[in-house]
Structure 1
Amino acid sequence: MDILSMVGILLGLVAILGGAVAKGSSLDALWNLAAFLIVVVGTLGATLVQARTQVFLHAFKMFPWVFMPPRLDTQEMIKHIVEWSHLSRKEGLLGLETLSEEEPDPFVRKGLQLLVDGAEPQALRQILEADLDNREAFDVQGAKVFESMGIYSPTLGIIGAVMGLMAVMQNLADPAKLGHGIAAAFVATIYGVALANLFFLPVANKLKGVVQARVSYQTMLLEGLISIAEGENPRNIENKLSGFIQG
């Protein structure tokens, strides 16, 4: 569980709601159905026009990573790679076949299977790098869905404010309605800017960080598998891969 994400969202809500109360406004003043429809539904519509179906759906599959990112234990994986290296030197690469069949991670399983099949180190690198690059590109596109929402929502907020002011202008003859109408008009701007800066853009950047961490993890794994294919000494493999440990 990523506690920082939970705390960040809560602090954002406290900032907006607490700030409104501190300024003498009521929480009811922050709710406006018309503004919600213009900003939230409009932002969703613009994003649907931009994104491919697969990318849009993938973005929301990735969203839980903001709170529960994939577990990437680099030190534990290095231990496994060193164990695989010892096993391959003792029993040959075919000794890894049982491990490949039991491995739950598709990327690891594919790498081990390529080792068992006797793939040359260069071929192994090309195949796994292609998988890694394609996965990274797809994941980054998913993160950019939220980034796009962060770009569109402030603009939709301005549109909502302008539309609200247009409605106010139609009631100039009734001064009693002007104050409430102007306040409601700017609620759309609050929705658009707040959603962009407290939710959509932070979510996009958090997902990009998770993707980058996973790429680094899988790159380390790739280098380890290639080292096994080249028959490197297990101690040398461990020393080389230790450079991927962060923090």
Structure 2
Amino acid sequence: MDLATIIGIIVGMAIVFIVQILEGGHASSILLWPSMLLVFGGGFCAAMAGGVMKDAKGVGASLQKALTAKVTPPTELLDSVVKLAERARREGLLALEDAVKTVEHPFLKRGLQLAIDGTDPDELHDILHAEVAAKKKADKASMKMFETMGGYCPTIGIIGTVMGLVHVLENLSNPDTLGHSIAAAFVATLWGVLSANLMWLPMAARLTRLSAIEAEEMELVIDGVLAIQAGSNPRLVAQKLRSLLPPDEMKKAEAASSTKKAA
């Protein structure tokens, strides 16, 4: 599990509360449930109103993915594809029938099964790329929900502040409580800006990044499956797939390959 998002949000929120205390305030003074309910609940409802019910229902799964998604090193996937290419080259494509059952990567598993079933290379290419395009659209929809919440929450926080100031003006006859009431009114704006910039927008960026990583993996799988289907030399398959990796990952893959050869 990649903890970047969890650590970033927790540490960011902790810094806010620490600064509040260092400035002579109390952490409890910004933990006002009415303001938080308005910002979080209102922000979610506004985002839901701008989309479809399917997007709103998928927020839980998207939130879980943003917080707990595991980023697998692409070198592991590359090694799996190369091993399959070596076996296909040695024993034939149909020999992978049993190997497919042990493949954990779902997209690689589907691609191999289509290749084994004798799907035309051009059709296989189109089918797999269509799946990549469909996934990008789905990921964009889930990311958009958080991005929209990040846009609405600051404005809803201002609405909460205006509501609080209206309440203050209704109670001008109690000067002893004016300071506390005015401070409480601005807490809604604080939570609106805070939630947008420390939670919703970072999560949208995280989902965008995860989508890009997964799409790159799928592109690597497509090239690997097509090479296996064509009976390409495993060394050429490995070299071609390594060229698709980011520079740092490519160096790691080349180092790992050199280590295996030396062993």
TM-score of the alignment, normalized to the shorter chain, above 0.5: yes
Which of 100-109 and 20-29 deviates more? 100-109
For residues 111-134 of structure 1, what are the alpha-carbon distances to aligned partners after superposition, in whole Å with 9 as ceiling and x for unaligned?
Answer: 011110111221111000111110
Aligned to 2:117: 117
More displaced stretch, 154-163 vs 1-10: 1-10
Residue 51 of structure 1 corresponds to 51
Query: Given residue 210 of structure 1, which amino acid in structure 2 is its aligned partner?
Result: L
- 1:18 corresponds to which residue? 18
- Cα deviations across residues 66-96 of structure 1 (Å, max 9, x unaligned)? 3432342321222221222222222222111
Give 1:97's aligned residue: 97
The superposition leaves residues 2-59 of structure 1 with CA deviations (integer Å, 9 ceiling, x where unpaired) of: 3433331222122211121122222221122321222111112112222333333333
Letter in 2 for 1:169: L
Structure 1 range deviating more: 64-73 or 45-54: 64-73
- Provide the TM-score with structure 1 as the length reference: 0.93
Matches within 5 A, 1:1-247: 1-246=1-246, 247=248
Please tell me whether the aligned partners of residues 3 and 68 of structure 2 are also in contact (alpha carbons under 8 angstroms).
no
2-structure distance, mates of 1:166, 1:31: 20
Across the aligned residues of Structure 1 and Structure 2, the Cα RMSD in angstroms comes to 1.7
* Structure 1, unpaired ranges of 5+: none
Percent sequence identity is: 33
Indicate conservation of the 8 Å contact 1:17/1:27, yes or no.
Answer: yes
CA distance in 2, matches of 1:127, 1:59: 28
| Structure-2 separation of matches of 1:41 and 1:62 | 17
Change over 3 Å in CA distance of 1:244–1:70 after alignment to 2: farther
Which shows bigger deviation, 185-194 or 56-65? 56-65
What TM-score comes out, normalization by structure 2 length?
0.88
How many pairs align? 247
5+ long unaligned stretches in structure 2: 249-263
Q: Aligned partners of 1:63 and 1:36: how far apart in 2?
A: 19
Given that 1:59 and 1:143 are in contact with CA atoms closer than 8 Å, whether structure 2 keeps it comes out as no
In structure 2, the CA distance between the partners of 1:85 and 1:2, relative to structure 1 (3 Å rule), is closer
Look up the SS of the partner of 2:24 in the other structure.
coil
